[in-house]
Structure 1
Amino acid sequence: MSGRCSEEELPPFPEPEISTIALEGKPSAKIAYTYYPPSNSTSNHPNPFSQTLLVFLNGLIMPRSSWDASINSFLQNRITSHLPYPALLSYDRYGQGDSDHDPDDEGPPPCHGHDIMSAVCSCRQFLVQIWKEHIEISNPTHFPSLIFVCNSIGCAIARLFAQTYPGTVSGLLLLDSIMANSDFVSFWPDPDAKDFDPHTLPPGVSLKDVRETRKKYRLMFHPSVPNSEGLSRRNLSQLLPSSSSPELEGQGGVGPYLTVVGHDWEEFAEQNFTGSLHTPKILTMTYLNPVWQMYNEGLVKITDEDKAIGPIVAVGCGHFIQRDGPGFVSGEMVALLDRVVNRVEQLRERDTG
């Protein structure tokens, strides 16, 4: 007789709650969210994640719906394996997706209505209210143990959250973090600089190519450029001047478990070329990818050495890893949960190539 459970014996797939909430102090604006309850605990099989909240933090462009495929893959994996899982929460920040704009912003979007620290504080208040409403009533506890799964600028928000509220974050999955200390222009060569040597350019690259690339990146990615969310990046390099510091304090006074993931160089270069930027692939490969790799190598130092994995490569994925590789994200979520609950040291060799 097979020991494998039949499909009928599997626990049901959790029904998500798709709703909105107003933060205390900002009653006129709603934040949209999707919440999955944790798996049930029994006397024989307690859920070790009953006091854990796994939170997804978006970048500037992709809303909370971009995590749906990764969440479904993760839950399917846990359910079919009869393994417990924590509560999962995705949300649209003010000005994103289905959420209202921040009522404290002055002027219509695009604007520099509020900064990253404002987003961090709003995130904290949001999580407090969600926790009280969904978990704390039946399971009294202090603030939950947080695991952040984040992309792009969401990684900066996660770092600043853990820095501002030490002891609250037990795990971080950083998916192609924004280079918080970059203006996204300076790493390209400047053809108009006095000391510029045109012979240093890669073969086939013209001065026009470089000038146009610098212009496009300045117009789209420079921190001075406002966005429809109203989330200003003008002071981000001051808030996070280094990728390797400060070192974060997780629960119990030790560093949080951390996985740092970078994009696939070839796929990212291809998307940059075929997308709206039309950046020549050789420029991305020569100037942008190496700088991003160095930034990711610094990120693994923000926790204890035995708590960090990475930087690893999301093969076949560009910057939006949750869009291009939801199965990959799901797998890394499973691995991170295993490390958090079992308090295991990382065994995977770091990919430094």
Structure 2
Amino acid sequence: MATNLITLTTKPTAQLSYTFYPPSTSIPSSTPATTPQTLLIFLNGLAAPQTSWTPVIQLLQTTRTNLNLPLPAILTYDRFGQGQTLSRDPLDADAPDPSHGHDILSALADLHQLILQIAQSHLNLTEPNPQTLQIIFTANSIGCALARLYAQTYPGTVSALLLLDHVLANSDFVSIFPDPATFTPSTPLPAGITPQDVAIARGIASKIFHPSVGNKEGLSRRNLASLLPDSDGPRLTAPGGKGPWVTVVGHDMTAFAEESVKMSGGRVSGRVFEEYLTPTWAEYNRGLLGVTDAERGRGPMVAEGSGHVVQLGNPGVVVRELGGLLERVLH
């Protein structure tokens, strides 16, 4: 499927790259006007652009007959400064530090405007609203934070969320690992972990994952913790007043540890990530189920063999869980 360019009316000097997949079946003219159309939107992390969803979409298309339901319209896109979107966010031009040129609230406003324009141009919805359009988000990493903020900001619009390895939005990542300066003979390290391991892990977190570290996209994470201070709230509202369907999937502990070891150049044991980071992330994932009603949450589950970018590491689990969400929303 070829990508297209779109100019948001709110940012007329820049263009976004997007890909739109029409629904697998056309909407019959006899369909009641009260029946909303569905738009499935994939939201990228910082490291993986819209092309990272291609394996999932292709597998979804080839296996949809097993789902016993038609596929809704699908949208992927690259944010400003990411992937095939060559334009920078116009806000970056006047920023003291372009790597922190705009924040997730800016990305949220862009997403909302994009949805409005795609609904108008591709779904023939002149004035899209919760009665005419229901949204399903499948998101990875910081894309999960964007999905939650959208559902929070526009209540009653999001029917379901598939959250794949949600970024630890309320963490600085460094403090997850203990400070070696506090080690004493009475507080020994776990077996297989050395003070050097912990020091290197803290250094990696400080240089790569701390919210103060910018990125090529220019999407700052400095205010992420204040916007999403808790993983278990606030509660989100779907069309009809109930909570949205929410499925939470996390990375495979071993695969993630291997990724982290490679990132350190082999200088640190994977045990340090398994001991400290994995339990923190698992607790965060459990909390995410608190954003909806108990009977509408599923997980957290582990994407076996996958590191942080679940859609590339295990597209099969994404399709399986997304199929379940589509059945719940569309039936």
TM-score (norm 1): 0.86
Q: Secondary structure at the match of 2:46?
A: coil
How far residue 210 of structure 1 moved from its aligned partner, in angstroms, is 1.4
Any conservation in 2 of the 1:58–1:64 contact (CA below 8 Å)?
yes
**What is the alpha-carbon distance in structure 2 between the residues aligned to residue 200 and residue 254 of structure 1?**
48
1:88 equivalenced with 2:77 (yes/no): no
Of residues 118, 126, 130, the one that matches 2:106 is 118
Any conservation in 1 of the 2:245–2:296 contact (CA below 8 Å)?
yes
Any conservation in 1 of the 2:257–2:270 contact (CA below 8 Å)?
yes
Query: Which whole-Å deviations, capped at 9, do the CAs of 1:121-142 have from their partners, x for residues lacking one?
Result: 11000111011000025x8753
**What is the alpha-carbon distance in structure 2 between the residues aligned to residue 216 and residue 130 of structure 1?**
40
Any conservation in 1 of the 2:139–2:162 contact (CA below 8 Å)?
yes
Query: Letter of the aligned partner of 1:203 in structure 2?
Result: A
1:26 equivalenced with 2:14 (yes/no): no
Q: Secondary structure at the match of 1:177?
A: coil
- Change in Cα spacing, 1:128 to 1:189, as seen in structure 2 (3 Å) is same
User: In structure 2, what is the equivalent of residue 103 of structure 1?
Assistant: 90
User: In structure 2, what is the equivalent of residue 55 of structure 1?
Assistant: 41
Of residues 16, 35, 46, the one that matches 2:20 is 35
Question: What is the RMSD of the two structures over their aligned residues, measured on CA atoms?
Answer: 2.3
Query: Which whole-Å deviations, capped at 9, do the CAs of 1:162-205 have from their partners, x for residues lacking one?
Result: 00000000000000000100000001010124xx3354312242
**What is the alpha-carbon distance in structure 2 between the residues aligned to residue 197 and residue 148 of structure 1?**
47
User: In structure 1, what is the equivalent of residue 228 of structure 2?
Assistant: 240
**What is the alpha-carbon distance in structure 2 between the residues aligned to residue 296 and residue 256 of structure 1?**
16
How far residue 45 of structure 1 moved from its aligned partner, in angstroms, is 11
How far residue 274 of structure 1 moved from its aligned partner, in angstroms, is 2.8
How far residue 83 of structure 1 moved from its aligned partner, in angstroms, is 3.0
Query: Which whole-Å deviations, capped at 9, do the CAs of 1:289-345 have from their partners, x for residues lacking one?
Result: 000000000001100011000101111111110011112211111111011123xxx
Q: Secondary structure at the match of 1:202?
A: coil
**What is the alpha-carbon distance in structure 2 between the residues aligned to residue 49 and residue 270 of structure 1?**
47
1:197 equivalenced with 2:184 (yes/no): yes
How far residue 117 of structure 1 moved from its aligned partner, in angstroms, is 1.1
**What is the alpha-carbon distance in structure 2 between the residues aligned to residue 321 and residue 309 of structure 1?**
17
Of residues 157, 160, 165, the one that matches 1:168 is 157
- Change in Cα spacing, 1:335 to 1:207, as seen in structure 2 (3 Å) is same
Query: Which whole-Å deviations, capped at 9, do the CAs of 1:142-162 have from their partners, x for residues lacking one?
Result: 352000000000000000000
User: In structure 2, what is the equivalent of residue 351 of structure 1?
Assistant: none
Count of residues in correspondence between the two structures: 324
Of residues 257, 260, 277, the one that matches 1:269 is 257
1:336 equivalenced with 2:321 (yes/no): no
How far residue 42 of structure 1 moved from its aligned partner, in angstroms, is 6.6
Of residues 57, 62, 72, the one that matches 1:71 is 57
Q: Secondary structure at the match of 2:246?
A: strand
Identity %: 48
Q: Secondary structure at the match of 1:269?
A: helix
Q: Secondary structure at the match of 1:136?
A: coil
**What is the alpha-carbon distance in structure 1 between the residues aligned to residue 242 and residue 3 of structure 2?**
35
**What is the alpha-carbon distance in structure 1 between the residues aligned to residue 31 and residue 173 of structure 2?**
48
- Structure 1 regions of 5+ residues with no counterpart? 1-15, 343-353
**What is the alpha-carbon distance in structure 1 between the residues aligned to residue 62 and residue 215 of structure 2?**
35
Any conservation in 1 of the 2:253–2:274 contact (CA below 8 Å)?
yes
Query: Letter of the aligned partner of 1:219 in structure 2?
Result: K
- Structure 2 regions of 5+ residues with no counterpart? none
How far residue 17 of structure 1 moved from its aligned partner, in angstroms, is 4.8
- Change in Cα spacing, 1:269 to 1:83, as seen in structure 2 (3 Å) is same
Query: Letter of the aligned partner of 1:120 in structure 2?
Result: L
Query: Which whole-Å deviations, capped at 9, do the CAs of 1:47-75 have from their partners, x for residues lacking one?
Result: 99970000000000100000001001001
**What is the alpha-carbon distance in structure 1 between the residues aligned to residue 224 and residue 26 of structure 2?**
41
- Change in Cα spacing, 1:276 to 1:132, as seen in structure 2 (3 Å) is farther
Any conservation in 2 of the 1:70–1:326 contact (CA below 8 Å)?
yes
Any conservation in 2 of the 1:261–1:314 contact (CA below 8 Å)?
yes
How far residue 213 of structure 1 moved from its aligned partner, in angstroms, is 1.3
1:281 equivalenced with 2:267 (yes/no): no
Of residues 207, 214, 229, the one that matches 1:219 is 207
